[in-house]
């Protein structure tokens, strides 16, 4: 099967990096006001249905949160003198990616509360120019996992609550890439397209502790969940002799793991105007980097491609300031450690140490509704790439320059 080496060298790196992020800002629209800081302990709107199910027991009446979030990615890749692949440097195609989220909860009595949420917490989408030097890794990629999560929480006593949810997940994968012809000469790039969907269930378990009157501690655990994608690759490529490259009737199976995650948050009321926030988290990204591959007619069931990713850690601090009785300002600063180094960092999506800076506001209206918004600047800076397979049979060396991701949102809660 001629397509096999193309897929092994080009497709898998693109898929591995596409979903290597749990994006706090996508869990609900109010998270852009905090950058993920203290998300498991705040429980101050219906978004707690997802961020910590146990937090639902803090509400005496029904609550709802709905909003929209936009994502804007800025950055480019610059080759250097050690680059041997064909093609120029590239700049990420700039566009705003829209998303939405919704949460609703309802107390059944003084002990039990139920809720439901809808969000897309996992994955990313990105576009590159069709001729850039990394086109054999990806030109267009999307790995998304929208979820609908029914949830229940139980108040054990005045200082302890527990909760659990089952996130019904529809995984979506789409990959477009290009490869130079197998025979040298003046022939156009070949095009490969792969897409599929898969259903999975991810467990979401939460604990809310209130050891002191003005202090809450929230803990959330997301289970590891597998998305098994399968597709017959669409190939628009013929070699100079006119033979089709690859067998489009042979299914390609990819096992992608949404990693397990633990997050601990603290919310402390300092005085009547100021609340202090903190959080620490861990994601098992090393497990995500192990992709299970099966190509039916090659006799390699269960083959594993290991991207050598590292587990990541989150650290954050933030605050809420009540400027007026009906107006609150929020802020958060966070760091998420890098999942890769210059040698293990794949092409197509730049992923390094993540620095988050977030600000937001909440304005309570006379009607009882709260209107809010937020902005998070996620900065990655300059990221080196070394000796990655690229177009034309050569290697790609260089760096991503001034990479930033911006999240902005508007929402309403009641």
Q: What is the pLDDT of residues 176-193, one digit of tens each?
A: 666 665 545 555 566 677
Query: 280 vs 14, 268, 295, 334, CA distance in Å?
Result: 29, 15, 40, 9
What is the spatial distance between Cα 352 and Cα 344, in angstroms, rounded to a whole number? 11
Span 277-296, mean pLDDT? 75
Q: What is the pLDDT of residue 339?
A: 82
Exposure pattern of 321-346 as b/e (b: 16+ CB <10 Å)?
Answer: eeeeeeebebbbbbebbbbbeeebbb
- DSSP symbol at 315: E
Q: Which range among 310-324, 325-339, 345-359 shows the weakest confidence by mean pLDDT?
A: 345-359
Whether the predicted pLDDT of 49 surpasses 50: yes
- The β-bridge relationship of strands 112-119 and 147-157 is antiparallel
Q: What is the pLDDT of residue 17?
A: 36
Q: What is the pLDDT of residue 15?
A: 35
User: Residue 141 — very low, low, confident or very high, per pLDDT cuts 50/70/90?
Assistant: confident
Span 304-319, mean pLDDT? 83
Comparing 78 with 346, which gets the higher pLDDT? 78
Whether the predicted pLDDT of 392 surpasses 80: no
Whether the predicted pLDDT of 80 surpasses 70: yes
Q: What is the pLDDT of residue 243?
A: 41
Write down all domains in the chain, each with its CATH number in brackets: 3-413 (2.40.160.60)
pLDDT tens-place string over residues 189-226: 666 777 788 899 999 999 999 999 999 999 999 999 98
Q: What is the pLDDT of residue 240?
A: 45
Q: What is the pLDDT of residue 78?
A: 81
Alpha helices, DSSP H only, in 89-214?
Answer: none
Q: What is the pLDDT of residue 239?
A: 47
Q: Which of 162, 181, 167 shows the shortest CA–CA distance to 225? A: 167
Query: 66 vs 25, 30, 259, CA distance in Å?
Result: 14, 9, 27
Residues 362, 363, 364, 366, Cα dihedral to 10°: -170
Tell me what the pLDDT averaged over the chain comes to. Answer: 81
Q: What is the pLDDT of residue 177?
A: 66
Contacts of 223 (CB under 8 A, 6+ apart): 202, 203, 204, 205, 260
């Amino acid at each position: 099967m001629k397509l096999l080496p193309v897929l092994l060298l080009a497709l898998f790196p693109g898929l591995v990096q596409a979903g290597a992020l749990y994006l706090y800002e996508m869990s609900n629209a109010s998270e852009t006001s905090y950058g993920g800081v203290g998300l498991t302990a705040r429980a101050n709107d219906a978004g707690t249905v997802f961020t910590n199910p146990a937090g639902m027991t803090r509400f005496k009446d029904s609550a709802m949160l709905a909003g929209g979030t936009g994502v804007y990615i800025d950055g480019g890749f610059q080759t250097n003198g050690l680059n041997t692949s064909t093609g120029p440097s590239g700049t990420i195609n700039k566009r705003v990616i829209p998303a939405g989220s919704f949460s609703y909860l309802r107390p059944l009595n003084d002990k039990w509360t139920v809720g439901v949420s809808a969000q897309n917490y996992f994955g990313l989408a990105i576009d590159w120019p069709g001729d850039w030097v990394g086109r054999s890794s990806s030109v267009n990629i999307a790995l998304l996992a929208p979820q609908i999560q029914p949830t229940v929480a139980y108040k054990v006593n005045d200082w302890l609550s527990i909760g659990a949810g089952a996130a019904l997940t529809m995984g979506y994968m789409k990959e477009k890439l290009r490869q130079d012809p197998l025979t040298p000469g003046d022939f156009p790039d070949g095009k490969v397209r792969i897409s599929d969907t898969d259903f999975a269930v991810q467990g979401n378990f939460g604990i809310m502790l209130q050891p002191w009157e003005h202090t809450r501690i929230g803990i959330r655990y997301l289970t590891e969940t597998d998305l098994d994608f399968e597709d017959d690759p669409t190939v628009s490529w013929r070699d100079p002799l006119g033979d089709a490259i690859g067998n489009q009737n042979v299914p390609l199976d990819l096992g992608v793991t949404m990693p397990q995650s633990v997050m601990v948050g603290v919310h402390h009321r300092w005085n009547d105007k100021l609340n202090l926030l903190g959080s620490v988290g861990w994601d098992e990204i090393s497990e995500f980097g192990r992709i299970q591959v099966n190509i039916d007619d090659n006799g390699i069931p269960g083959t594993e491609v290991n991207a050598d990713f590292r587990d990541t850690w989150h650290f954050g601090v933030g605050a809420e300031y009540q400027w007026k009785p009906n107006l609150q300002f929020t802020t958060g600063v966070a760091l998420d450690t890098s999942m890769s180094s210059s040698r293990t960092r794949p092409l197509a999506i730049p992923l390094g140490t993540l620095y988050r800076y977030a600000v937001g506001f909440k304005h309570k209206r006379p009607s009882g509704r709260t209107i809010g918004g937020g902005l998070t600047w996620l900065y990655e800076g300059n990221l080196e790439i070394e000796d990655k397979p690229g177009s034309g049979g050569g290697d790609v060396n260089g760096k991503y320059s001034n990479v930033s991701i911006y999240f902005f949102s508007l929402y309403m809660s009641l």
